[in-house]
């Protein structure tokens, strides 16, 4: 088989860290690296420093908790590593069309299925990189701050903070400040119980696959669902999660014998709509300063409803 020469090459890194507390980028690197100030400045000027997958050259770039900082072995081009065209190419609509909410403090989008929330080693095209470019076009000093993530193949509500202090406050009490996390899931078959609360304990194996544990040694996961629509082959569920475990919804529904359609990782791989049948439909959280409720909603994808 002929090798695809258009496939982006993974970036080789010499160092990588997850930020524990906010700091200016230059000072952070000086504390992490046994290098002179000029040497660290040369790394920045040489396009070898990436924050959440985006090349950063500014010394005073503000870092926030949980940012991922990496030092590349070789200079990295500024343009996005575009994914090769495929069946999901039509989802790559302009970023402005993805925006569902924006004010001076927050930016929320309806992330397309097939797009990473944050970069990976093979692909720097992500919701974060698009949000960063969008904000910098309006203000060169602006940047998005990551509050949460959703899986690459899951579509729906993804929110960024614009202010580092708000980001820090929300990250400190994220689980307490979130009042509702709702998803729409399309699964194989008809659910015997039309409404239920699933409580199980999840573990992860050496292959990074999550599974339901028979004992209570894993992480507790709580998921509530209600059947919205059904036919002979599929069911559409309104899902609300009380915990935010990795791949929680997909693993728990598969354990009941009703995997999410299009899930090749945890399901049978049945794919009638050309994507994963999971959508983050609603997120409600409390503003840490004003204490106002912020409700973000992403409409149910049309391809979900077409099955019914």
In the chain, the domains with their CATH numbers are 13-72 (3.10.290.10), 92-172 (3.30.2350.10), 175-306 (3.30.2350.10)
The pLDDT of residue 92: 45
Contact 64, 76 (CB under 8 A): no
The answer to which of 56-65, 116-125, 236-245 has the lowest mean pLDDT is 116-125
The CA distance from 108 to 99, in Å, is 6
Contact 277, 271 (CB under 8 A): no
Whether 153 sits among the annotated catalytic residues: the reply is: no
The CA distance from 131 to 144, in Å, is 7
Beta strands (DSSP E) in 56-177 are 62-63, 68-72, 99-102, 106-111, 145-146, 155-161
The answer to which of 43-47, 135-139, 214-218 has the lowest mean pLDDT is 214-218
Catalytically annotated residue among 66, 78, 79, 151: 151
pLDDT exceeds cutoff 50 at 3: no
Instruction: Enter the pTM of the model.
Output: 0.86
Structure tokens that stand for 201 in this block: 């304990």
């Amino acid at each position: 088989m002929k090798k695809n020469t258009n496939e982006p090459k993974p970036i080789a890194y010499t160092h990588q860290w997850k930020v524990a507390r906010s700091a200016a980028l230059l000072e952070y690197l000086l504390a992490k690296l046994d290098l002179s100030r000029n040497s660290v400045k040369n790394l920045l000027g040489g396009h070898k420093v990436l924050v959440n997958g985006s090349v950063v050259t500014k010394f005073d770039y503000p870092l926030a908790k949980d940012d991922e900082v990496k030092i590349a072995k070789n200079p990295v081009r500024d343009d996005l590593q575009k994914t090769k065209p495929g069946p999901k190419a039509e989802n790559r609509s302009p970023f402005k069309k993805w925006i569902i909410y924006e004010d001076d403090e927050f930016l929320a989008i309806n992330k397309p299925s097939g797009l990473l929330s944050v970069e990976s080693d093979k692909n720097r095209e992500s919701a974060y990189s698009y949000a960063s470019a969008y904000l910098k076009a309006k203000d060169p000093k602006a940047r998005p701050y990551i509050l949460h993530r959703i899986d690459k193949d899951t579509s729906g509500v993804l929110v960024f903070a614009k202010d580092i202090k708000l980001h820090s406050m929300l990250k400190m009490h994220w689980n307490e400040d979130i009042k509702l996390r709702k998803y729409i899931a399309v699964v194989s078959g008809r659910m015997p119980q039309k409404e239920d609360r699933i409580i199980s304990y999840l573990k992860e194996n050496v292959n990074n696959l999550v599974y339901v544990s028979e004992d209570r040694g894993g992480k507790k996961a709580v998921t509530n669902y209600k059947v919205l629509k059904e036919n002979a082959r599929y069911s559409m569920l309104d899902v609300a999660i009380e915990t935010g475990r990795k791949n929680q919804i997909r693993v728990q529904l598969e354990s009941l014998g009703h995997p999410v359609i299009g899930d090749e990782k945890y399901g049978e791989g049945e794919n009638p709509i050309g994507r994963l049948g999971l959508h983050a439909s609603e997120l409600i959280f409390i503003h840490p300063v004003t204490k106002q409720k912020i409700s973000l909603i992403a409409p149910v994808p049309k391809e979900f409803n077409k099955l019914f």
